[in-house]
Structure 1
Amino acid sequence: MSHVVVLGAGLGGTIMAFEMKEKLRREDQLTVVNLGTVYSFVPSNPWVAVGWRERENVTVDLSAVLAGRGIGFRPEGARRVHPKENRIELNGGSFLDYDYLIIATGPDLAFDEVPGLGPDGFTQSICQIDHAIAAKASFDALVQKPGPVVVGAIQGASCFGPAYEFAFILDTALRRARKRDQVPMTFVTPEPYIGHLGLDGVGDTKGLLESAMRERHINWITNARVTRVDAGKMFAEEVGDDGSLKTSHELPFAYSMMLPAFRGVPAVAGVEGLTNPRGFIAINKHQRNPAFPNVFAIGVCVAIPPVGKTPLPVGVPKTGLMIESMVTAVAANIGALLRGAEPNAVATWNAVCLADFGDEGIAFVAQPQIPPRNVNWSSRGKWVHAAKVGFERYFLHKVRQGKAETFYERLMLDVLGIRKLKDIHPEPAE
């Protein structure tokens, strides 16, 4: 008998548990470790932050779901991973031994790296459900007393899609409240250009997003390094292509939402051989840690080098389909090891993303996510908003049912009618 432990029950960890369960032998044991019992669908947080969703609409209590699948559950959360000893120290002081560990913790949010940033400072966040609920109260205050808005991401961020989404969703919500004309909006980002997304663009994301921002009267500052945030004012330095200071900005705001940089969670940060200096898990092409071969990792917590050189740090996002491909590879590889074989599954790392604007949106397909690519496609339309709503409903339904399915691939490429990759990039005629 072998004991497999999944550390983390977010988007990646939850589907990892479901898929890993199907690859185990009858005698094997599977346990999920998470801080708390609730799964929250993070892609819905921008909607929560403007009152389009409530907490109960986008959360699932995992206790009964995992028990129904015969999966153990430890909701204490992890204090520290001890890979040399093959065990996890849990909050509270107890230990959990494992034969194979799958790290799916997601990131630690580095608000402290910019003075005044984050929910404990002067800006809002949509990274967690509690943050989004707090942001809703501030949004209500903005509607009552309109003023300037600053939205964007901090240098070192690696998840730019939600920042763009929230800027456009906020625009839509303010227009519906008949207050948009009283709210100047500025988008602040370390990206070298609008639509870079940490991927050096996908298709014409630069043109599509710039056009959408002009149409919606959203100004922008790129190559922006935020140095501090005070009450009602953000300080940012705009740098040139060589990283030298170009100009400084003092941006007043009545409301601001800025995505922070990510780093590894404290439970793994600084473990020699396991993580890089930023605390992300080092992996090989089989999602396996080179120093500790019985440790695998998926999702936002894995270390991926940036795509090309940029004047300011810009990380690579780990999108849903990419994470799903990691999940499938890890399940197959551990399943092989349990049966005496060597791992040979490799994640595809393709990207399919829906960026919702509240009434329309932009979709893109990058195959693979990191260039050069075989498929490099993006499109804008009202259908993207409908697709995002359908995706939310489909994914939450599957989590509640505890089903192991290829959520993104099936939903985005089949169920919601997005064109097949072969139609986006057809094979040459014979």
Structure 2
Amino acid sequence: MGKPKIIVLGAGLGGTIAAYEIKAAVKDKAEVMTVSDSETYSFVPSNPWVAVRWREPEAIQVHLPPVFAKKKIGFTAVGAKRVHPVEKRIELNDGTFIDYDYLVIATGPDLAFDEIDGLGPHGGHTVSVCQTAHAVAAADQFDAFCGNPGPIVVGAVQAASCFGPAYEFALILDTELRKRKIRDKVPMTFVTSEPYIGHLGLDGVGDTKGLLESEMRNRHIKWITNAKVAKVDPGVMHVEEVGEDGAVKRTHDLPFGFSMMLPAFRGVPAVRGIEGLTNPRGFIIVDKHQRNPAFPDIFALGVCVAIPPTGPTPVPVGVPKTGFMIESMVTAIAANLGAIVEGRDANAEATWNAVCLADFGDGGVAFVAQPQIPPRNVNWSASGKWVHLAKIGFEKYFLRKVRKGESEPFYEKLALHVMGIRKLRL
């Protein structure tokens, strides 16, 4: 009987470090392989910088095949067409199949731009920072906009579960427009499905409500909360502002010359609609050990995991899966697979803590939530120029970690640095 085969599906922030940590945990007792649709790892948290040309895409990307080869991890960039959990195999985009003994799903989300007419970079009228290629296209549009400035609309639509990058991008735009000395020509509006500024899908962390409201006021950015985007026409966003009872209390027709709106997420087509594996949105159902109850040979981590909202809101709001939370899922899965290949029980659980550095170009807000979903043991937030410097240090550290194939967890150390000395020494 040969070694068990572990497949990691996805090579983003979660999938890449999962492959490294799982390989370190199982050593030579199992074969580890990664299936991705690209040979390139992109550091997604830096995409807002790419969209204003503070970073070139090559600076935040890593060519994965040589790193995986060095770590003796198999790799293909053909991409997955469909997971067949009953047969324990993955159908690839070229029509071939790969069998597995254990599967770790780390695909990230499918971006549901199509759920709102006119939304998104592919045939729509808004840009995106969800993918690095989107951010590159956004930079071109932003340059053109600066030659003929006008209103800007930034935010996150109904059912979005990722809000930090929307705040970051709005405030980074403010910083860049001031650098270009055209901020006075650009009215800005922040449109969000959150019930209040700083909710973040987490019912706030520390004083994120006060900190972010203060930033928006100081930078002359108006906002609309409890907002549903009805549709987007060229140069006009149609927004419904919802009351506490769920009824539309006001409508807004917001003109814009440039707009970035984060979409709702859903599971990728390769897994969506598989009974027992996913919920109705296509997210993977897992237990406290990151294991799917219907198919116990499947684990999942990151944005593709199903997590219920923190509570009811007038407009649907999802829960973000932040880097610390994802890393804790990775560590738990690696420990569980290490135990399984040695014939022991898989008992490790993820901590699901959160640490976030939201950069505003010349400052920022940091928060730490332990656990991510309230009630919490740690509920902390702070702001200052040190956050911008910390984000730069974090980017350098994490990219170095990916390039070297290092499996050492980092986010817990980041949280301690942020809460303790408020700066990183990297």
- Fold conserved (TM > 0.5)? yes
Is the CA contact (8 Å cut-off) linking 2:368 and 2:415 kept in structure 1? no
Alpha-carbon RMSD across the aligned residues, in angstroms, is: 1.0
Is the CA contact (8 Å cut-off) linking 1:394 and 1:411 kept in structure 2? no
**1:292-317 Cα deviation digits (max 9, x unpaired):** 00000000000000001101110000
Q: Which amino acid aligns with 2:306?
A: A
Q: Which amino acid aligns with 1:135?
A: A
Q: Which amino acid aligns with 2:98?
A: L
Residue 34 of structure 1 corresponds to which residue in structure 2? 36
Is the CA contact (8 Å cut-off) linking 1:146 and 1:179 kept in structure 2? yes
Q: Which amino acid aligns with 2:216?
A: M
- The DSSP-based 3-state class of the residue aligned with 1:267 is coil
How far did 1:419 drift?
Answer: 1.4
How far did 1:339 drift?
Answer: 1.2
Counterpart pick for 2:116 among 95, 114, 121: 114
Q: Supply the distance in 2 between the matched residues of 1:267 and 1:419 (Cα, whole angstroms).
A: 42
Residue 371 of structure 1 corresponds to which residue in structure 2? 374
Counterpart pick for 1:218 among 203, 216, 221: 221
- The DSSP-based 3-state class of the residue aligned with 2:420 is coil
How far did 1:412 drift?
Answer: 4.3
How far did 1:420 drift?
Answer: 7.9
Residue 135 of structure 2 corresponds to which residue in structure 1? 132
Aligned residues: 419
Q: Supply the distance in 1 between the matched residues of 2:59 and 2:385 (Cα, whole angstroms).
A: 23
- The DSSP-based 3-state class of the residue aligned with 1:166 is helix
Q: Supply the distance in 2 between the matched residues of 1:309 and 1:419 (Cα, whole angstroms).
A: 34
Residue 424 of structure 1 corresponds to which residue in structure 2? none
- The DSSP-based 3-state class of the residue aligned with 1:400 is helix
Q: Supply the distance in 1 between the matched residues of 2:38 and 2:308 (Cα, whole angstroms).
A: 31
1:261-280 equivalences in 2 (<5 Å): 261-280=264-283
1:182-201 equivalences in 2 (<5 Å): 182-201=185-204
Q: Supply the distance in 2 between the matched residues of 1:238 and 1:358 (Cα, whole angstroms).
A: 30
Q: Supply the distance in 1 between the matched residues of 2:351 and 2:48 (Cα, whole angstroms).
A: 28
How far did 1:413 drift?
Answer: 2.5
Q: Supply the distance in 2 between the matched residues of 1:23 and 1:294 (Cα, whole angstroms).
A: 17
Residue 419 of structure 1 corresponds to which residue in structure 2? 420
Residue 70 of structure 2 corresponds to which residue in structure 1? 68
How far did 1:25 drift?
Answer: 4.2
Residue 18 of structure 1 corresponds to which residue in structure 2? 20
How far did 1:372 drift?
Answer: 0.4
Residue 146 of structure 2 corresponds to which residue in structure 1? 143
Point out where structure 1 has 5 or more consecutive residues left out of the alignment. Answer: 422-430
Cα–Cα, structure 1 residues 335 and 307, in superposed 2: closer, same or farther, change >3 Å?
A: same
**1:1-60 Cα deviation digits (max 9, x unpaired):** 100000000000000000000111424100000001000000000000000000110000
Residue 4 of structure 1 corresponds to which residue in structure 2? 6
Point out where structure 2 has 5 or more consecutive residues left out of the alignment. Answer: none
Runs (4+) of structure 1 exceeding 4 A deviation are none
Q: Supply the distance in 2 between the matched residues of 1:395 and 1:411 (Cα, whole angstroms).
A: 11
Residue 47 of structure 1 corresponds to which residue in structure 2? 49
Counterpart pick for 1:385 among 378, 385, 388: 388
Is the counterpart of residue 176 in structure 1 residue 190 in structure 2? no
**1:190-248 Cα deviation digits (max 9, x unpaired):** 10000000000000100000000000000000000001000000001001011001000
The share of aligned pairs that are identical, in percent, is 68
1:88-103 equivalences in 2 (<5 Å): 88-103=90-105
- The DSSP-based 3-state class of the residue aligned with 1:210 is helix
Residue 350 of structure 2 corresponds to which residue in structure 1? 347
- The DSSP-based 3-state class of the residue aligned with 2:287 is coil
- The DSSP-based 3-state class of the residue aligned with 2:66 is helix
TM-score (norm 2): 0.97
Q: Supply the distance in 1 between the matched residues of 2:401 and 2:330 (Cα, whole angstroms).
A: 16
Higher mean displacement: 276-285 or 403-412: 403-412
Residue 328 of structure 1 corresponds to which residue in structure 2? 331
Q: Which amino acid aligns with 1:159?
A: C
Higher mean displacement: 16-25 or 274-283: 16-25
Counterpart pick for 1:163 among 155, 162, 166: 166
